[in-house]
Structure 1
Amino acid sequence: MSTNRLTSNLSQYKSLEFILGALLTGGICLLVIFADLLFQSADKIDLSARLLAPFAHPEHIFGTDPLGRDILARVVSGGSISLQVGFISVAGAVVLGVVMGLVAGYYRGFWDVIVMRFADVQLAMPFILLAITFIAIVGGGLANMIFLLIISQWVQYARLVRGSVLSLRDREFILSAQAIGVSNFSILFRHLLPNLIGPVIVLMTLNVANNILLESSLTFLGLGVDPLTPSWGGMLADGRTYIQNAWWVSVFPGVAILLTVLGLNLLGDWLRDSLDPTGKTSR
């Protein structure tokens, strides 16, 4: 009886985890998608309305910044930058890392040594050092930020996929496919890849949240996207000098980052237990 009750409690918890994660992530994504219909320009300056407190004016629910720009509109507009960086960079890292991991794990030998030793060198390099070096050479900006995250994170997917391929390449269904003359390309992408997709999706979900944090952190430090482009990290940086007198300039972008990352992490945790049963954690 106690075991059934524990199982029921865990099932209810996981359902609540999924619902909360989906509501947070879906709600923020919908706001960002329909931002142009819901709000006026996030860059509209009104010096007569600078630093209005939250809920003090019906047209500026979250208040205004030092230039009189609406905080709510800028938070929603800035979300598009953070979500673009998060999703596009993860998609690029997945494509590159999965291909490298499949090749290294299946062919082994020379390709395995080259890919994995390069991965070891990159993993030994601190991310902040890589970011500073990269931005010093090629400059900042949205496209460069996305490229930086791709080249810094493909290694995670390559190592994950390679390890799984090594455990699958000698299984009966792969040996049978080789015996009847199936091409290596088909074996890699039609037989091996579908068996790896679960762990990859879980890692993707968690890395989207991580990349949003990285983009915000680098932009806060002046190493990210253009300061003139509304972004959560840039808004945090702009509001730090007003934190004592106008806390809302920094707090609301910070809350947006918190809710987005929380929603994605909840979804990632739920996906981990749903798609990767061997990785379930006890609660």
Structure 2
Amino acid sequence: MRASLLSRHRLLSIELVLGGILLAVMLGGVLLSGWLFPDGGEAMDLRARLLPPFVNAAHPLGTDPLGRDVLARVSTGGWISFSVGFWSVVGGAALGTLAGLVAGYYRGIAETLLMRFADVQLALPFILLAITFAAVVGSSVSLLIVLMIVSQWVQYARVVRGSVLSLREREFIQASRAFGLPDARILFVHVLPNAFSPVLVLMTLNVANNILLESSLTFLGLGVDPLVPSWGGMLADGRTYMQTAWWITVFPGLAIMMTVLGLNLVGDWLRDNLDPTSKLP
């Protein structure tokens, strides 16, 4: 039994280390992109167009059809993917957590209205919302973030509501009510910290999911403006050159894969360590 527990903890540590390394590499490249590539990957050199990777020191990952450096565009394009993934998750988590706290703590009409609205939200296909918004308003980074927040807050609301339903009857919550503490203090000081662990895990996993979602929507022309460098946009630009210039799509695809893998590994490690049932023999 002891040996199995030790091997399990080693596996969890390997997940954390490997995920942390992948995230550090990708985040480091993105954060340093402004210093390493001041032109933002937009400098064109038609004489060096479609250079293959690893043959020119000035363009280690090759160039695209306009002679733009692929490494510079992958590094710069990560800003969009990380920004969309991070801010959409923060916004969705904040909105959903607040709704879940109110619904689980007050019950009654508040819970009914919020949960029925959540059911309606779940019935709306995300791709339909994306097409409608893109057709009516247009595509932009901020619009994409708002669209993801609107479509994903329900996940956090349901998770938090389930936790609050069990916490509201616990002795320390009953004691707080008996002492006459205001509801806001009880919710944000006593209830929220005890219900936040599953939210944190869900946020980590959803960042990875939203990065994939942004890349997919941009690839389909429903996401970020094509003039803005992004991983999804690079995949879309390079799909017609797959047989003659594979590197245009392969390297942004690898960047997406490494980022999502790193986030999923860290998210799995958090889930296994924050979930009390995972520690049972």
TM over 0.5: yes
Q: CA deviation at 1:279?
A: 5.3
Encode CA deviations 1:117-168: one digit per residue, 9 max, x unaligned: 0111111222211221222222210000000010010000000000110111
Encode CA deviations 1:241-274: one digit per residue, 9 max, x unaligned: 0000000000000000000000000000000011
The change in CA–CA distance for 1:109 and 1:121 in structure 2 (over 3 A counts) is: same
C-alpha contact (below 8 Å) 1:135/1:223 kept by paired residues? yes
Q: What's the RMSD between the two structures over aligned residues?
A: 1.3
1:234-249 map, 5 Å: 234-249=233-248
Paired amino acid for 1:89? S
Residue 9 of structure 1 pairs with residue 7 of structure 2: yes
Q: Distance in 2 between matches of 1:71 and 1:129?
A: 32
Which contiguous aligned blocks of 4+ residues in structure 1 show a shift greater than 3 angstroms?
279-282
Residue of structure 2 equivalent to 1:222:
221
Q: Percent identity?
A: 62
Residue of structure 2 equivalent to 1:193:
192
The change in CA–CA distance for 1:134 and 1:280 in structure 2 (over 3 A counts) is: farther
The change in CA–CA distance for 1:190 and 1:233 in structure 2 (over 3 A counts) is: same
C-alpha contact (below 8 Å) 1:28/1:260 kept by paired residues? yes
Residue of structure 2 equivalent to 1:259:
258
Unaligned runs of 5+ in 1: none
Encode CA deviations 1:23-45: one digit per residue, 9 max, x unaligned: 11122111111112122420001
TM-score, structure 2 as length reference: 0.97
1:91-170 map, 5 Å: 91-170=90-169
Deviates more, 1:91-100 or 1:124-133: 124-133
Residue 52 of structure 1 pairs with residue 51 of structure 2: yes
Q: Distance in 2 between matches of 1:221 and 1:281?
A: 45
Unaligned runs of 5+ in 2: none
Q: CA deviation at 1:192?
A: 0.2
The change in CA–CA distance for 1:281 and 1:129 in structure 2 (over 3 A counts) is: farther
Encode CA deviations 1:27-71: one digit per residue, 9 max, x unaligned: 211111111212242000110000000001000000000000000
Q: In structure 1, the residue corresponding to 2:65 is in which secondary structure?
A: coil
Deviates more, 1:139-148 or 1:128-137: 128-137
Paired amino acid for 2:85? G
Q: CA deviation at 1:280?
A: 6.7
Q: Distance in 2 between matches of 1:34 and 1:111?
A: 47
Q: Distance in 2 between matches of 1:110 and 1:60?
A: 61
Q: In structure 1, the residue corresponding to 2:44 is in which secondary structure?
A: coil
Q: Distance in 1 between matches of 2:64 and 2:276?
A: 47
Residue of structure 1 equivalent to 2:18:
20
